[in-house]
Structure 1
Amino acid sequence: MSGPPRITDWASAPRMNEIEALMWRSERPPAQSSTITAVMILDCTPDWERLVEAHRWATSAIPRSRQRVVEPLVPVGLPAWSVDEHFTLDHHLWRTGLPYGGSDGGGDGADLMSFAADFAMRPFDRTRPLWEAVLVDGLPGGRAAYVLKMHHSLTDGIGGIQLLSSVQSNTREHTPDKPMPANTVSGPSDRIRVTLDAATDGIGSWVGALTSVAQVGLESLRNPLAATGRALDYAGSLRRVLTPPVEGSPLLSDRTGQRWRFLTLECRLAELRSAAKAAGGSVNDAFVASLLGGLRRYHDAHGLELEQIPMAMPISLRREGDPEGGNKFTAAMFAAPLAQADPIARIQAIGHTTRSLRTEAALDAFSALAPALNRLPSAVAVAAGRLGARADLSASNVRGQTEPSYLAGARVERMFPFGPLPGVAIMASMISHVGVCCLGINVDGDAVPDTELLSECLAAGLDEVLGSGRPSGEL
């Protein structure tokens, strides 16, 4: 593994931000797990000793990978990151043969995804750094898989890709004599000090918030009509962003979060881009349209017709020059068109909706609410963490790597991302990896007991969208 100089700055904040703290405090595994997972398919089995040394180097270079969470004694402020003085790779990195697939030991893709889902659902030890990885040997054709999971409080999807891009190599050959970076970053480990620091920071935050409120109040006195109009506009925006716009599907209502099922799809990025271009939309619009086409088929197979379903979509708030890592996103809900059979019209409808969402005044309202929620009892934080549970589908799309990458000498052929199930029935994620769109779909197995049917329907929905971008008559 090798990386640019900025790798040491990855996720370097000494404390969680408000959204990260809310995800951390509202977590109740497995239903409310905040685990993000990447499954990398490798063209061969990497050298184990080289892989271990690569992790030793990377964890020395990235302070966050050797830090644990330290909570204040009372919820007066945000949790801190502190170096785990007892850190050892043995607690975070393993290897195994695929424990499925029969006596010949040669499992298939479904076996690997079953293993990965079980691995992802296993709760983190909250007293240690919040990541784990396992190398899976014995895949067909001499391949292997590397499965990495991280707690969402460490990073969002974009930050995760930044990390992987930094620590993977661009060559199969070993890079000797890599300089070992000095890891001198350490936060407080004493909970009393963390409490005092958090309280001090919290007082400053509340003073700033009260000052802003006072300024708004003075402006309202000067121009009450304009202030009332802005308040009504914001209230309407808040309702559109945070509340479910339609009733959920009865087919997807029995979700528990107790059984994760990982499904995968893939296509050429150029084909998905062509389909998006044919409809005047973006790659993300085409991705979401393919999911909805699949869900329409799934509902048709069950004899149920629905016009729309409630859907959630994370929206990145990152700006150029922002530090790498961490979480910088918000989420919005909208009514997704399920009955629209024409893939071109569906892509156009999704594009119109997502463009409208980005202009909502209350788009980042959850971030504004998080500071107050973080200072209330944990039961309130748990309830707040379930705000997205009223959506049937959530979808996230992250731009991945464009050049080949290697892990201890093995080339990464595919990288499938899997987000957590924050109460939704289906969480679909997509990463573009060296010209291939890798779709990872996390399904609540209780809400969707017939996952094979769902997988077939989603594949058909993707094929339908891709076909809309091909020249007439081309298969």
Structure 2
Amino acid sequence: MADTEEVSDLERWAAAAAWSRRPVLDPLETMMWRSERHPARSATSCTVILLDREPDWERFRNAHEWGTSLVRRLRQRVLDPALPTTAPVWVDDAHFSLDYHLRRRPVGGSGSIDDVLEVARELALRPFDRSRPLWEGVLVTGLDGGGAAHVLKIHHALTDSAGTVQLLSLLQSHTRQHTPDKPVVALDEEQPTTDALQLARDGLRDGLAAAPVRALQGLRAGLSAALRPQTVLAETLRYGASVRRLAAAPPAPNSPLLADRDGRSWRFLALSCSLSELRAAGRVGGGTLHDAFVAALAGGLHRYHAVHGVDLEQVPVRLRVSLDRAEDPMGGLRFAGAMIAAPSGIEDPADRIAAVRGELLSLHTERALDAVRAFAPVVGLLPADVGAAVLGLGVTADASASTMQGPTRATYMAGARVEGIYPFGSLPGVAVAATLLAHVDQACIGVNVDERAVRDTDVLQACLQEGLDEVAALAR
């Protein structure tokens, strides 16, 4: 077993080192970077890792020092050309200081999880310094019972929430003891120096040089289409119909309770339940863990509306559809968004899971799931407001939901055992954004709430927890 774990660690570290080999932001990353409007249209995610004790600070800091040497991207910043003639690139931050990006502070208050979430909320709402590497971490100490928490904020230009979990895995081990003989990674030779003006000139030069090749490729594509016009026309029409469906009005009426929102006032909530029970509940309803989670979220929102005298039969929910492939490297943005009408009014939780399953299966027939990525190369060169408008297309849901896999067995950070990992995404135009991370046998659910839309967040939290418990009870 020890040999297997050692090989696994070596493979994981090698994959992490390869994370930083792509020097240029891809089209989707470019569009998100240039069109971000924090916090209303934010590309920031935040993760809260609860620890059973306060880790040794020097060991904790050294682990991050080693991690940033392994993943060079964590020591790099984004350089945008003076004119949008090309994509932004990653360049080494000549003034990188770990002490700027990694800090520690006492939790304050009573030391509860709510106090930790307040620290995380404040950190997440603070904009990044876009001239520095796009991550910040805070070790929060003094929790009730002697625990601690690590709060990590990261920008989607660097990686998405799933990539953040991969990144955190590099800093975790399966024992409290120090892991010896970790590879010492020598950073590559420094990159050639450049600036925004030179990058713009190089992009213009390369674009002019590549124009004849692109013209020839376009001519070949046109000739190929001319040889099979009916097939091309049919494919185009099917793709266009899929785009219209995905960008159309929400599949269910929006809630009048959640209509007044602007995405600027965040509130973090943490929920949890048994992972094995929630997964088993999904099977009872003929679905998956993700189906059970969406059904629980819909049930919780139905309860919340009932408190306010509103009958919510369906709720438009935006889902994160993974586009990961086995051969994909660590990091990057590999997901698409799509909406369903979550059947919140179905009383029986097993029937609700089955209905959610049917809605999700219909999404996989959509050809244009990745349409935003397809249009990104062009949109990324247009004014930033255009990119913001494209990213906002179809974002008229009341809630969003996503799931991701975390560690399957106990892990430690600098000698402190990880008790739970709670991910918090931004609010992509929704009132409630819920993310489930599977951690050992615990479903850790981070919920970001638009406080302008939900004034009684305590009531919402109680209703969402009841929705989770109701679905999980199917396993019992």
* TM superposition score normalised by structure 1: 0.92
Deviation at residue 152 of structure 1 after TM alignment: 1.1
- Does the aligned pair in 2 maintain the 1:275–1:466 contact within 8 Å? yes
SS in 2 for 1:266: strand
Indicate if the aligned counterparts of 1:219 and 1:227 stay in contact, CA closer than 8 A: no
Report the count of equivalent residues: 465
- The 8 Å contact of residues 242 and 333 in structure 1, kept in 2 or not, is answered as no
Q: 1:193 aligns with which of 180, 190, 198?
A: 198
Out of 257, 261, 271, the position equivalent to 1:265 is: 271
- Equivalent in the alignment of 1:241: 246
1:252-282 deviations in Å (ceiling 9; x for gaps): 1111112111111111211011101111101
Q: Please name the residue that 1:30 is paired with.
A: 39
Once the two structures are TM-superposed, the CA of residue 62 in structure 1 deviates from its matched residue by 0.8
Q: What residue is the counterpart of 2:292 in the other structure?
A: 286
Kept after mapping to 1: 8 A contact 2:45/2:424: yes
Please, what is the CA RMSD of the aligned residues? 2.2
Task: Say if 2:413 is the partner of 1:407.
Answer: yes
Separation (CA, whole Å) in 1 of partners of 2:128 and 2:467: 35
The sequence identity of aligned pairs, in percent, is: 48
In structure 1, the partner of 2:5 is: none
1:154-205 CA distance string (max 9 Å, x none)? 1122222221122312211123454421111655542233224444665688
Letter in 1 for 2:47: A
Once the two structures are TM-superposed, the CA of residue 230 in structure 1 deviates from its matched residue by 2.7
Residue 309 in 1 paired to residue 308 in 2? Answer: no
Instruction: Supply the distance in 2 between the matched residues of 1:264 and 1:201 (Cα, whole angstroms).
Output: 49
Where 1:380 maps in the other structure, the secondary structure is helix
Q: Is 2:365 the counterpart of 1:363?
A: no
Following TM superposition, by how much is the alpha carbon of 1:138 offset from its aligned partner in structure 2, in angstroms?
0.7
Q: Which amino acid aligns with 1:190?
A: D
Amino acid at match of 1:242: A
Superposition pairs of residues 384-395 of structure 1, within 5 angstroms = 384-387=390-393, 389-395=395-401
Displacement of 1:229 after TM fit?
A: 3.1
CA distance in 2, matches of 1:48, 1:420: 29
CA 1:432/1:45 → structure 2, altered by over 3 Å: closer, same or farther?
Answer: same
Equivalent position amino acid for 2:234 in 1: G
What amino acid does structure 2 have at the position aligned with 1:302?
H
CA distance in 2, matches of 1:250, 1:422: 18
8 Å CA contact 1:82, 1:186 repeated in 2 = no
1:413 partner SS: strand
Asked if the contact 1:8–1:62 (Cα under 8 Å) also holds between the matched residues in 2, the reply is yes
Number of the residue aligned with 2:6: none
Residues 36/11 of structure 1: CA separation in 2 closer, same or farther (3 Å cut): farther
User: Residue type of the partner of 1:233?
Assistant: R
| 2:295 and 2:344 in contact (8 A); partners too | no
What does residue range 16-165 of structure 1 map to in structure 2 within 5 Å? 16-99=25-108, 101=109, 106-165=110-169
- Give, in angstroms, the shift of residue 392 of structure 1: 1.0
Closer, same or farther: CA 467–368 of 1 in aligned 2, 3 Å? same
Shift of 1:456: 0.8
AA at the equivalent of 1:84? D
| Structure 2 Cα separation of the partners of residues 117 and 211 of structure 1 | 51
- Distance change >3 Å, CA 57–CA 375, structure 1 → 2: same
1:419 alignment partner in structure 2: 425
CA distance in 2, matches of 1:374, 1:192: 18
Mapped pair 1:15 → 2:21: no
Superposition misfits of 4+ residues, deviation over 6 angstroms? 203-212
Report if aligned partners of 2:315, 2:342 keep a CA contact under 8 Å in 1: yes
Give the conservation status (yes or no) of the 8 Å contact 1:11–1:155.
no
Question: Aligned letter for 1:230?
Answer: E
Report Cα offsets for 1:105-162 as digits up to 9, x if no partner: x321212112211111111100000000001111011000010010011112222222
Q: Is the 8 A contact 2:372 2:391 kept in 1?
A: no
1:299 paired residue number? 305
CA 1:4–1:223: 2 relative to 1, 3 Å: closer
Matched residue, 1:473: none
What is the one-letter code of the residue matched to 1:439?
I
Report how far residue 397 of structure 1 moved. 0.5
The structural deviation recorded for 1:210 is 6.3
Amino acid at match of 1:375: L
How far apart are the structure 2 equivalents of 1:284 and 1:184?
41
Give 1:215 deviation, angstroms: 5.4
Other structure's SS at 1:31 match: coil
Structure 2, unpaired ranges of 5+: 1-8
Distance 1:277 1:433 in 2: 19
Q: Distance in 2 between matches of 1:154 and 1:96?
A: 25
Unaligned runs of 5+ in 1: 471-475
Relative distance call for 1:265 and 1:365 in structure 2 (3 A) is: same
What is the distance in 2 between the residues matched to 1:52 and 1:96? 14
Aligned twin of 1:327: 333
- Is the 8 Å Cα contact of residues 402 and 434 (structure 2) preserved in structure 1? yes
Q: d(CA) in 1 for partners of 2:340 and 2:237? A: 20
Q: Of the candidates 452, 463, 466, which is equivalent to residue 446 of structure 1?
A: 452
Q: Structure 2 CA distance, aligned partners of 1:47 and 1:79?
A: 38
> Secondary structure of the equivalent of 2:150?
strand
Residue 378 in structure 1 maps to residue 387 in structure 2: no
Q: Which moved more, 1:125-134 or 1:203-212?
A: 203-212
Q: Aligned to 2:145, what secondary structure does the other structure show?
A: helix
In 2, the alpha carbon distance for the partners of 1:294 and 1:301 equals 11
CA distance in 2, matches of 1:198, 1:376: 15
SS of the equivalent of 1:65 reads helix
Give the structure 2 partner of residue 463 of structure 1: 469
Partners of 2:470 and 2:189 in 1: CA distance: 51
